Amino acid sequence: MKKKLVVLACIAACAGGVGTGVAAERFGGSFQYGSSNSSNADVDMYQGGVQYDFGVQWLNMGNWHVGAYVEFTVGYWDNQSPRATNASLWDVGLTNVLRIQQTDKSMISPFLEGGLGIHYLSETSVSEDRRFGCNFSFGDHVGAGITFGPRNAFELMYRYQHLSNLGICSPNQGINFNEIRLGYWF
């Protein structure tokens, strides 16, 4: 029952943001590179994404607030793992993200964020010792970065991401990535 509730909560979170729009809604695009740091996995990830910022401002605290955006990503994993089962795989994800950020941004503005989403992987393993159990996975990440440039449209950030199936399939070995992301908000 607990697993079903977590799955339903994740799907609801990915369906869209809620709240009253205070800031302008906007779209963004990103590219990120990630490298696995999991045992029995040597994987480089290349990922492109499209983001939609809901323009909400929750928990206003001085010049800081919590904002929200949703991110759709497509990624390619180049697998160099020992005892590799696949040379590569594809990852399609949908993630809802909460971000602590400045309300009135300075020339270089820091932020922190965390996200939870769903992923579909084209393969169920990267090596004989790193199996995911099924194609469906949950992804969560934490990250820190800066926005800069005209309108603070550019962003550069570090993310730590974990993917696993939350025990809905067996085995549930999962994988972790250290990621660098460059983004642009229109």
Q: pTM of the full predicted structure?
A: 0.86
Write the pLDDT tens digit of every residue in 50-96. 999 999 999 999 999 999 999 999 999 999 999 999 999 999 999 99
How confident is the model at residue 24, as a pLDDT? Answer: 79
Identify the three-state secondary structure at position 26.
strand
Q: What confidence category does residue 22 fall into, taking pLDDT thresholds of 50, 70 and 90? A: low
Residue 104 contacts by C-beta under 8 Å, 6 or more apart in sequence?
63
CA neighbor of 136 nearest in space, from 71, 95, 92, 84: 92
Say if residue 114 is exposed, middle or buried (CB neighbours under 10 Å; 0-12, 13-18, 19+): middle
pLDDT-above-90 percentage for the chain: 84
β partners of residue 42: none
Q: Which segment of 19-28, 86-95, 141-150 scores lowest on mean pLDDT?
A: 19-28
List the helix and strand counts (H, then E) for the chain: 1, 11
| Contact predicate 134/169, CB 8 Å | yes
Q: Which domains does the chain have, with CATH numbers?
A: 2-15+24-185 (2.40.160.20)
Mean pLDDT for the stretch of residues 118-132: 95
How confident is the model at residue 16, as a pLDDT? Answer: 42
How confident is the model at residue 37, as a pLDDT? Answer: 74
5/86 Cα distance (integer angstroms):
32
β-pairing, 136-148 vs 154-164, is antiparallel
Phi then psi for 10, rounded to 5 degrees?
-65, -45
